[in-house]
Amino acid sequence: MRGLSLVIALSTLGLAAQDPPAPRALTAPAAIPATPDAALAELLAGNARFVAGKRSRTVDTGQDPILRAALVKGQQPFAVIITCSDSRVPDSLVFDQEAGRLFTIREAGNAPDLQGLASAEYAVEHLGSKVVVVMGHTGCGAVKAVREAQGRPLPGNLWALQAGMAGLLESTPEAPDEGASAYGARLEAGNARRQAQALLDRSDLLRERTAEGRLKVVPALYHLDSGNVDLLKPATPLVETAHH
Protein backbone atom coordinates (compact mmCIF):
# COMPACT_ATOMS: atom_id res chain seq x y z
CA MET A 1 0.00 0.00 0.00
CA ARG A 2 2.84 2.38 0.79
CA GLY A 3 4.22 1.89 -2.75
CA LEU A 4 0.80 2.54 -4.27
CA SER A 5 0.40 5.70 -2.17
CA LEU A 6 3.77 6.96 -3.39
CA VAL A 7 2.80 6.41 -7.02
CA ILE A 8 -0.48 8.27 -6.46
CA ALA A 9 1.35 11.13 -4.76
CA LEU A 10 3.90 11.42 -7.54
CA SER A 11 1.15 11.31 -10.13
CA THR A 12 -0.66 14.12 -8.34
CA LEU A 13 2.51 16.21 -8.46
CA GLY A 14 3.05 15.44 -12.13
CA LEU A 15 6.20 13.44 -11.38
CA ALA A 16 5.04 9.99 -12.48
CA ALA A 17 7.17 8.28 -15.10
CA GLN A 18 6.11 9.18 -18.61
CA ASP A 19 6.97 7.82 -22.00
CA PRO A 20 9.71 9.90 -23.65
CA PRO A 21 8.43 12.26 -26.33
CA ALA A 22 8.71 11.12 -29.90
CA PRO A 23 11.83 12.53 -31.57
CA ARG A 24 11.26 15.58 -33.69
CA ALA A 25 12.30 15.71 -37.29
CA LEU A 26 16.02 16.36 -37.58
CA THR A 27 16.81 19.99 -38.21
CA ALA A 28 18.36 20.41 -41.62
CA PRO A 29 22.06 19.61 -41.10
CA ALA A 30 24.66 22.21 -41.85
CA ALA A 31 26.22 21.83 -45.26
CA ILE A 32 29.46 19.88 -45.41
CA PRO A 33 32.24 22.40 -46.17
CA ALA A 34 33.58 21.79 -49.66
CA THR A 35 37.05 23.34 -49.26
CA PRO A 36 39.75 23.52 -46.58
CA ASP A 37 39.09 27.24 -46.04
CA ALA A 38 35.35 26.64 -45.65
CA ALA A 39 36.08 23.86 -43.15
CA LEU A 40 38.27 26.16 -41.08
CA ALA A 41 35.61 28.88 -41.20
CA GLU A 42 33.02 26.40 -39.90
CA LEU A 43 35.29 25.40 -37.03
CA LEU A 44 35.97 29.02 -36.10
CA ALA A 45 32.27 29.89 -36.21
CA GLY A 46 31.49 26.98 -33.89
CA ASN A 47 34.27 28.00 -31.51
CA ALA A 48 32.93 31.55 -31.43
CA ARG A 49 29.54 30.17 -30.35
CA PHE A 50 31.24 28.08 -27.66
CA VAL A 51 33.20 31.04 -26.30
CA ALA A 52 30.07 33.21 -26.23
CA GLY A 53 28.03 30.53 -24.47
CA LYS A 54 25.72 30.23 -27.46
CA ARG A 55 26.27 26.68 -28.69
CA SER A 56 23.51 25.66 -31.09
CA ARG A 57 24.53 22.38 -32.69
CA THR A 58 25.39 20.44 -29.51
CA VAL A 59 22.54 21.33 -27.16
CA ASP A 60 19.35 19.89 -28.69
CA THR A 61 19.27 16.38 -27.22
CA GLY A 62 15.73 15.89 -28.52
CA GLN A 63 17.19 15.04 -31.90
CA ASP A 64 19.68 12.44 -30.69
CA PRO A 65 17.70 9.31 -31.71
CA ILE A 66 17.08 10.44 -35.28
CA LEU A 67 20.65 11.72 -35.61
CA ARG A 68 21.97 8.29 -34.56
CA ALA A 69 19.68 6.65 -37.12
CA ALA A 70 20.96 8.95 -39.85
CA LEU A 71 24.60 8.24 -38.99
CA VAL A 72 24.10 4.48 -39.26
CA LYS A 73 24.11 5.07 -43.03
CA GLY A 74 27.57 6.66 -42.98
CA GLN A 75 29.66 9.62 -41.93
CA GLN A 76 31.15 12.67 -43.63
CA PRO A 77 33.45 14.36 -41.11
CA PHE A 78 34.73 17.55 -42.70
CA ALA A 79 37.58 17.92 -40.21
CA VAL A 80 40.09 15.71 -38.46
CA ILE A 81 40.90 16.95 -34.95
CA ILE A 82 44.10 15.59 -33.47
CA THR A 83 44.14 16.74 -29.89
CA CYS A 84 45.23 15.84 -26.39
CA SER A 85 43.58 13.17 -24.26
CA ASP A 86 43.03 15.80 -21.54
CA SER A 87 39.43 15.62 -20.31
CA ARG A 88 39.21 19.42 -20.36
CA VAL A 89 39.44 19.54 -24.16
CA PRO A 90 36.03 18.38 -25.48
CA ASP A 91 36.56 19.13 -29.15
CA SER A 92 32.96 18.57 -30.26
CA LEU A 93 31.80 21.20 -27.77
CA VAL A 94 34.76 23.50 -28.40
CA PHE A 95 33.81 23.64 -32.09
CA ASP A 96 30.05 23.15 -31.50
CA GLN A 97 29.73 20.26 -33.96
CA GLU A 98 27.34 17.36 -33.54
CA ALA A 99 28.17 13.69 -34.07
CA GLY A 100 29.35 12.76 -37.55
CA ARG A 101 31.13 16.05 -38.37
CA LEU A 102 34.50 15.69 -36.61
CA PHE A 103 36.91 12.74 -36.84
CA THR A 104 38.75 12.88 -33.54
CA ILE A 105 42.14 11.36 -32.70
CA ARG A 106 43.26 11.82 -29.10
CA GLU A 107 46.76 11.24 -27.77
CA ALA A 108 48.41 12.74 -24.70
CA GLY A 109 50.38 15.72 -25.96
CA ASN A 110 48.50 15.62 -29.31
CA ALA A 111 51.43 13.61 -30.67
CA PRO A 112 49.93 10.94 -32.94
CA ASP A 113 51.67 7.59 -33.26
CA LEU A 114 51.57 5.48 -36.42
CA GLN A 115 47.97 4.42 -35.81
CA GLY A 116 47.02 8.05 -35.31
CA LEU A 117 48.66 8.95 -38.61
CA ALA A 118 46.88 6.08 -40.35
CA SER A 119 43.58 7.26 -38.86
CA ALA A 120 44.10 10.76 -40.26
CA GLU A 121 44.91 9.33 -43.68
CA TYR A 122 41.78 7.19 -43.55
CA ALA A 123 39.57 10.19 -42.80
CA VAL A 124 41.10 12.23 -45.62
CA GLU A 125 41.20 9.44 -48.20
CA HIS A 126 37.94 7.60 -47.50
CA LEU A 127 35.72 10.07 -45.64
CA GLY A 128 36.61 13.26 -47.48
CA SER A 129 37.92 15.38 -44.61
CA LYS A 130 39.18 18.74 -45.83
CA VAL A 131 41.29 19.90 -42.91
CA VAL A 132 43.44 18.32 -40.20
CA VAL A 133 43.73 20.44 -37.06
CA VAL A 134 46.46 19.50 -34.59
CA MET A 135 45.23 21.17 -31.41
CA GLY A 136 47.37 21.59 -28.33
CA HIS A 137 46.11 23.36 -25.25
CA THR A 138 47.25 25.53 -22.39
CA GLY A 139 48.14 23.74 -19.17
CA CYS A 140 49.13 20.55 -21.02
CA GLY A 141 50.36 17.99 -18.49
CA ALA A 142 52.15 15.91 -21.13
CA VAL A 143 54.21 18.88 -22.35
CA LYS A 144 54.96 19.84 -18.73
CA ALA A 145 56.15 16.31 -17.93
CA VAL A 146 58.53 16.32 -20.89
CA ARG A 147 59.80 19.79 -19.98
CA GLU A 148 60.43 18.95 -16.34
CA ALA A 149 62.15 15.65 -17.16
CA GLN A 150 64.84 17.56 -19.13
CA GLY A 151 65.82 14.44 -21.03
CA ARG A 152 65.75 12.06 -18.07
CA PRO A 153 63.63 8.97 -18.89
CA LEU A 154 60.10 9.15 -17.54
CA PRO A 155 58.90 6.06 -15.62
CA GLY A 156 57.00 3.15 -17.12
CA ASN A 157 55.60 3.70 -20.57
CA LEU A 158 55.63 7.46 -20.16
CA TRP A 159 58.86 7.45 -22.15
CA ALA A 160 56.56 7.35 -25.19
CA LEU A 161 55.56 10.94 -24.45
CA GLN A 162 59.20 11.95 -24.79
CA ALA A 163 59.57 9.96 -27.99
CA GLY A 164 56.46 11.62 -29.43
CA MET A 165 57.88 15.07 -28.65
CA ALA A 166 61.50 14.33 -29.53
CA GLY A 167 63.34 17.52 -30.40
CA LEU A 168 60.80 19.88 -28.83
CA LEU A 169 63.05 21.13 -26.04
CA GLU A 170 66.04 21.49 -28.34
CA SER A 171 64.04 23.43 -30.95
CA THR A 172 62.41 25.66 -28.34
CA PRO A 173 65.06 26.56 -25.76
CA GLU A 174 64.13 28.51 -22.67
CA ALA A 175 65.12 32.18 -22.71
CA PRO A 176 67.39 33.34 -19.85
CA ASP A 177 64.79 35.52 -18.11
CA GLU A 178 61.71 33.55 -19.16
CA GLY A 179 59.35 32.32 -16.45
CA ALA A 180 58.13 28.74 -16.33
CA SER A 181 54.60 29.73 -17.34
CA ALA A 182 55.69 31.70 -20.39
CA TYR A 183 58.11 28.99 -21.45
CA GLY A 184 55.43 26.33 -21.03
CA ALA A 185 53.07 28.32 -23.25
CA ARG A 186 55.73 28.54 -25.97
CA LEU A 187 56.32 24.81 -25.75
CA GLU A 188 52.61 24.05 -26.06
CA ALA A 189 52.29 26.14 -29.21
CA GLY A 190 55.61 24.86 -30.54
CA ASN A 191 54.55 21.26 -30.00
CA ALA A 192 51.33 21.79 -31.97
CA ARG A 193 53.35 23.27 -34.84
CA ARG A 194 55.91 20.45 -34.79
CA GLN A 195 53.25 17.73 -34.68
CA ALA A 196 51.39 19.28 -37.62
CA GLN A 197 54.60 19.47 -39.61
CA ALA A 198 55.48 15.89 -38.68
CA LEU A 199 52.19 14.68 -40.17
CA LEU A 200 53.16 16.09 -43.55
CA ASP A 201 56.73 14.87 -43.29
CA ARG A 202 55.56 11.32 -42.53
CA SER A 203 52.62 10.98 -44.91
CA ASP A 204 52.79 10.95 -48.71
CA LEU A 205 49.01 11.15 -48.88
CA LEU A 206 48.67 14.23 -46.66
CA ARG A 207 51.57 15.95 -48.46
CA GLU A 208 50.04 15.31 -51.87
CA ARG A 209 46.59 16.55 -50.85
CA THR A 210 48.12 19.66 -49.27
CA ALA A 211 50.25 20.41 -52.33
CA GLU A 212 47.15 20.05 -54.51
CA GLY A 213 45.20 22.51 -52.34
CA ARG A 214 42.66 19.86 -51.36
CA LEU A 215 43.73 19.73 -47.71
CA LYS A 216 45.16 21.96 -45.01
CA VAL A 217 47.05 20.76 -41.95
CA VAL A 218 46.77 23.44 -39.30
CA PRO A 219 48.26 23.62 -35.80
CA ALA A 220 46.10 25.26 -33.15
CA LEU A 221 46.08 26.09 -29.46
CA TYR A 222 43.03 25.82 -27.21
CA HIS A 223 42.92 28.13 -24.19
CA LEU A 224 41.40 26.42 -21.17
CA ASP A 225 40.44 29.70 -19.50
CA SER A 226 38.68 31.50 -22.36
CA GLY A 227 37.66 28.54 -24.54
CA ASN A 228 39.18 30.29 -27.53
CA VAL A 229 41.05 28.37 -30.23
CA ASP A 230 43.94 30.13 -31.93
CA LEU A 231 44.72 28.79 -35.40
CA LEU A 232 48.45 28.93 -36.09
CA LYS A 233 50.19 29.11 -39.46
CA PRO A 234 49.33 26.03 -41.58
CA ALA A 235 52.04 23.44 -42.04
CA THR A 236 53.56 23.19 -45.51
CA PRO A 237 55.19 20.23 -47.26
CA LEU A 238 58.95 20.28 -46.67
CA VAL A 239 59.71 16.85 -48.04
CA GLU A 240 59.43 16.36 -51.79
CA THR A 241 56.51 14.10 -52.62
CA ALA A 242 57.73 10.71 -53.73
CA HIS A 243 56.71 9.53 -57.19
CA HIS A 244 55.88 5.86 -57.60
Q: List the domain boundaries for the chain.
A: 33-231
Contacts 24+ apart (CB under 8 A), 198-203: 199/82, 199/112, 199/117, 199/120, 199/132, 199/134, 199/235, 200/235, 200/236, 200/237, 200/238, 200/239, 201/238, 201/239, 202/117, 203/117, 203/120, 203/121
Q: Rounded to the nearest 5 degrees, what angle is found at the Cα of 104, between the Cα atoms of 103 and 108?
A: 160
Give pLDDT, residue 27: 55
| CA–CA separation, 142 and 11 (whole Å) | 52
User: What is the predicted pLDDT for the residue at 67?
Assistant: 87
- The Cα 156–Cα 170 span in angstroms is 23
Rounded-to-integer distance, Cα 194 and Cα 196, Å = 5
pLDDT given for residue 184 in this prediction = 94
CA–CA gap between residue 176 and residue 50 (Å, rounded): 37
Q: Please state the pTM of the whole predicted model.
A: 0.85
33-231: CATH number: 3.40.1050.10
Say what the pLDDT of residue 6 is. 47
Per residue of the chain (244 residues), what is the pLDDT tens digit? 555 554 444 444 444 445 555 544 545 567 899 999 999 999 999 999 999 999 998 887 777 888 899 899 999 999 999 999 999 999 999 999 999 999 999 999 999 999 999 999 999 999 999 999 999 999 999 999 999 999 999 999 999 999 999 999 999 999 999 899 999 999 999 999 999 999 999 999 999 999 999 999 999 999 999 999 999 998 888 755 443 3
